[in-house]
């Protein structure tokens, strides 16, 4: 049964960003628009508590312990999903929290259609989505996740994710309502859908495909699926360039242009004593437009690996805005926003381990 927690007060905290003189909102060309970012922060990593948080132009608000996986702002109301202090999958509408039906639940994406709230995810028995907190099963009795969800103009619920087939291969999938359709993957390889966005009334799916390679096992690429066709994005090099592969975590579609954001993973080298070369990146932030790769600035190489990664992207009114994380001299991951490739940290770089999972602009 759907369970509501009322009167859940938001907590306000101070904020910071990398710009010396300009706030994030001042970097927007469009008048009156705000950047909403959502994810989590840890007050004293690694021993502190993790909080479900969102930022509005850099100002932090907190729902409580947990994590926000997705955020949407509709008619001035804030809709978010994720999990709470009890590891229950939940969604929030402003100050009201709804615990989603099921056991062993995970919630990843939220979509609002009229008065109805849809959330995609999984439970102990497989993949599912929820409508106003009530669970609708998708693929059950199998390893399966529904990471993204949209509802088109006709009211059709479309989800995206993966399922594991009898050969233990991860197959990218879309569900039309509860009917599953397999999407393209590399031969003898795997693929997963991590996000779904509407381009007009047509869904576009974003994620990662993995191709077998004799030298490195599997080569991942950021990928997207449009009208049933998969496009694998450029990794910017091969394993011979010390690039292992790429991953697409979020996407956006506008007209004929498809935007993806994520990261590139590098193959680290070692010195003559076998120690990792500390000045070489491990995971770096990027975005792609129609499959072509573009670099994003990250932080300093932290612990011989961490630099940055994109999680969500929006391209509107001539601007590209990306949410994710970047490293600092003392933290592997710090919540970050890029506005036209200008990096803004949302948290104190020295004190708060944090990540942005989702963004919206209103």
Q: How far apart are CA 268 and CA 256, in angstroms?
A: 37
- What percent of the chain is predicted at pLDDT more than 90? 80
Q: Can you give the pLDDT at residue 19? A: 41
Q: Can you give the pLDDT at residue 261? A: 98
What's the mean pLDDT in 235-258?
94
Q: How far apart are CA 176 and CA 182, in angstroms?
A: 11
Q: Residue 361 in contact with residue 35, Cβ under 8 Å?
A: yes
Q: Highest mean pLDDT range out of 155-159, 266-270, 279-283?
A: 155-159
Residue 350's pLDDT band, with cuts at 50, 70 and 90, is: confident
Q: Can you give the pLDDT at residue 216? A: 82
Place of tokens 């007050």: 43
Query: Is the confidence at residue 24, as pLDDT, over 90?
Result: no
Residue 4's pLDDT band, with cuts at 50, 70 and 90, is: very low
pLDDT, tens digit (0-9, with 9 covering 90-100), for 155-164: 999 999 999 9
Arithmetic mean of pLDDT over the chain? 91
CATH numbers and ranges of domains, the chain = 3-361 (2.130.10)
pLDDT, tens digit (0-9, with 9 covering 90-100), for 67-112: 999 999 999 999 999 999 999 999 999 989 999 999 999 999 999 9
Residue 31's pLDDT band, with cuts at 50, 70 and 90, is: low
Q: Which of 21-30, 125-134, 279-288 has the lowest mean pLDDT?
A: 21-30
By residue count, the chain amounts to: 362
pLDDT higher at 94 or 24: 94
What's the mean pLDDT in 288-312?
96
Cis peptide before 46 (omega within 30 of 0): yes
Measured CA to CA in angstroms, residue 342 lies from 11, 167, 175, 347 at distances of 28, 44, 37, 16
Dihedral over alpha carbons 51, 54, 60, 63 (to 10 degrees): -50
Place of tokens 């003189």: 21
DSSP 121: E
Query: Is the confidence at residue 276, as pLDDT, over 80?
Result: no
Query: Residues with Cβ < 8 Å from 346, sequence gap 6 or more?
Result: 15, 16, 17, 37, 55, 58, 60, 334, 335, 336, 337, 354, 356
Query: Is the confidence at residue 61, as pLDDT, over 50?
Result: yes
What's the mean pLDDT in 313-342?
96
Q: Can you give the pLDDT at residue 73? A: 97
pLDDT higher at 175 or 6: 175
Q: Can you give the pLDDT at residue 11? A: 38
Q: Can you give the pLDDT at residue 30? A: 57
Q: Which of 7-21, 137-151, 196-210, 245-259 has the lowest mean pLDDT?
A: 7-21
DSSP 302: B
Residue 17: CA atoms inside 13 Å, Cβ hemisphere, count?
Answer: 22
- What percent of the chain is predicted at pLDDT more than 70? 92
Q: Can you give the pLDDT at residue 236? A: 95
Query: Residues with Cβ < 8 Å from 44, sequence gap 6 or more?
Result: none
Q: Can you give the pLDDT at residue 22? A: 55
């Amino acid at each position: 049964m759907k369970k509501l927690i009322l009167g859940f007060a938001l907590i306000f905290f101070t904020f910071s960003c990398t710009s010396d003189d300009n706030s994030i909102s001042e970097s927007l060309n469009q008048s009156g628009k705000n950047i909403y970012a959502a994810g989590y922060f840890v007050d004293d990593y690694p021993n502190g508590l993790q909080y479900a948080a969102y930022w509005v132009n850099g100002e932090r608000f907190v729902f409580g312990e947990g994590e926000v996986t997705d955020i949407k702002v509709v008619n001035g109301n804030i809709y978010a999903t994720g999990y709470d202090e009890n590891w229950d999958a939940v969604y929030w509408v402003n100050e009201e929290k709804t615990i989603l039906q099921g056991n062993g639940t995970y919630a990843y994406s939220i979509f609002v259609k009229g008065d109805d709230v849809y959330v995609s995810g999984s439970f102990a028995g497989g993949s599912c989505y929820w409508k106003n907190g009530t669970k609708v099963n998708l693929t059950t009795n199998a390893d399966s996740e529904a990471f993204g969800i949209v509802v088109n103009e006709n009211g059709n619920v479309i989800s995206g994710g993966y399922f594991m087939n009898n050969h233990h291969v991860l197959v990218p999938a879309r569900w039309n309502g509860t009917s599953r359709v397999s999407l393209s993957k590399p031969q003898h390889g795997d693929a997963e859908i991590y996000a779904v966005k509407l381009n007009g009334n047509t869904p576009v799916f974003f994620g990662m495909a993995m191709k077998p390679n004799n030298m490195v096992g599997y080569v991942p690429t950021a990928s997207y699926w449009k009208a049933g066709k998969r496009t694998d994005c450029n990794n910017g090099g091969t394993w011979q360039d010390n690039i292992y592969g790429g991953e697409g975590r979020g996407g956006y579609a506008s007209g004929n242009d498809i935007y993806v954001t994520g990261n590139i993973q590098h193959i680290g080298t070692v010195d003559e004593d076998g120690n990792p070369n500390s000045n070489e990146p491990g995971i770096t932030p990027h975005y792609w437009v129609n499959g072509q790769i573009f670099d994003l600035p990250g932080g300093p190489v932290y612990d011989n690996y961490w630099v940055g990664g994109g999680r969500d992207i929006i391209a509107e009114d001539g601007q590209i805005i990306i949410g994710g994380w970047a490293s600092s001299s003392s933290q592997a991951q710090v919540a970050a926003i890029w506005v036209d490739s200008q990096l803004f940290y949302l948290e104190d770089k020295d004190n708060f381990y944090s990540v942005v999972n989702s963004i919206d602009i209103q």
